[in-house]
Homo-oligomer: A and B are copies of this chain.
Amino acid sequence: MGKTMRNLLLTLRFLGGRYCGFQVQKNGLSIAEVVQDAAEAVLGHRPPIKGCSRTDAGVHALGFGLSLKTDNPIPAERLPLAMNAHLPEDVAVAACVEVPEDFHARYSAIAKEYIYRIHNSPCRHPFWEGRALRHGPTLDVAALNEQAADFIGRHDFSALCSAGSSVENRVRHVQSCRLEREGELVTFTVVGDGFLYNMVRIMVGTLLDIGSGRIPPGSIPDILLSGDRRRAGHTAPAHGLYLSRVFYPGMDTGSIVNERS
């Protein structure tokens, strides 16, 4: 008789600056690789892991969902501390819960929340170096929120998808999307049922280009309708982007770890 196979959902936090992204790649260290190393050290076998998303090189996470199967009987609540002892400083498991056998960190996700942090100041801030995009000219957050509202809804987001994506259906539902200012820090928060390649970074780049006058206000509906990547704004750099939470039926990784920042 085999031992019972368990399915575990781990919530991961990481600073992505040193990594080539979540997925294992030939050139460069991936988040998946260091997580598998730690899982192997604790569980005694190297489990395949399912990530909620392929994050790009340099992207950070506050509530990344990851599932793995194991027959090791370690209590779920002990796994974070046990694995953290084997993870580098910039990656940590924040929580672990047992989930049904057919749960999959990616396919079970019903929505995701990303945030993009902008340090809106002409002066460098050591605390946000590598953790927020620095943007000198003062952003008019109220005016940009009027623009950002045009992203909300079910649209074909082809115009906000970088070349290189093989995804065919590019219709996504953006449920909410707004900017908030707290002192010099402007945070863009977007929730949607799915995101195309670089979509959040192009949303941010488009808003910044509207702010700087490179793209006229009111253009977003036309940009979406055009389906033309060249009409949208630039791709904002990776180091401001955070996968902040993943929503699963009945729970989300943000509420599991009870903290967003």
Contact = CB atoms under 8 A, between A and B. Distances in A.
Interface in A29-74: 62
Interface string A107-140: 0000000000000011111110101000000000
Given A183-B261, A259-B184, A261-B185, A125 B13 contact: yes
Contacts of A81: 122-123
A252 to B, nearest CB: 14
Interface string A223-261: 000000000000000000000000000000000011111
Contacts of A92: 123-126
Contacts of A94: 121, 123, 125
Interface string A6-32: 000000011100000000000000000
What class of interface size applies to chain A in its complex with B?
20 to 34
Contacts of A184: 257-259
A258 to B, nearest CB: 6
A142 to B, nearest CB: 17
A89 interface: yes
Contact of A84 (B89, B124, B259): B124
A59 B91 CA distance: 24
A90 interface: yes
A80 interface: yes
A203 interface: no
Given A81-B122, A122-B81, A127 B15 contact: yes
A261 to B, nearest CB: 7
Number of copies: 2
A259 B126 contact: no
B261 A127 contact: yes
A93 interface: yes
30 contacts: A13-B125, A13-B126, A14-B126, A15-B127, A62-B127, A80-B122, A80-B123, A81-B123, A84-B124, A89-B126, A90-B126, A90-B129, A91-B126, A92-B123, A92-B124, A92-B126, A93-B123, A94-B121, A94-B123, A94-B125, A127-B261, A182-B259, A182-B261, A183-B258, A183-B259, A183-B261, A184-B257, A184-B258, A184-B259, A185-B259
Given A184-B257, A185-B259, 17 more contacts: A13-B125, A13-B126, A13-B127, A80-B123, A84-B123, A89-B129, A90-B126, A92-B125, A93-B123, A94-B121, A94-B123, A95-B123, A127-B131, A127-B261, A182-B261, A183-B259, A184-B258
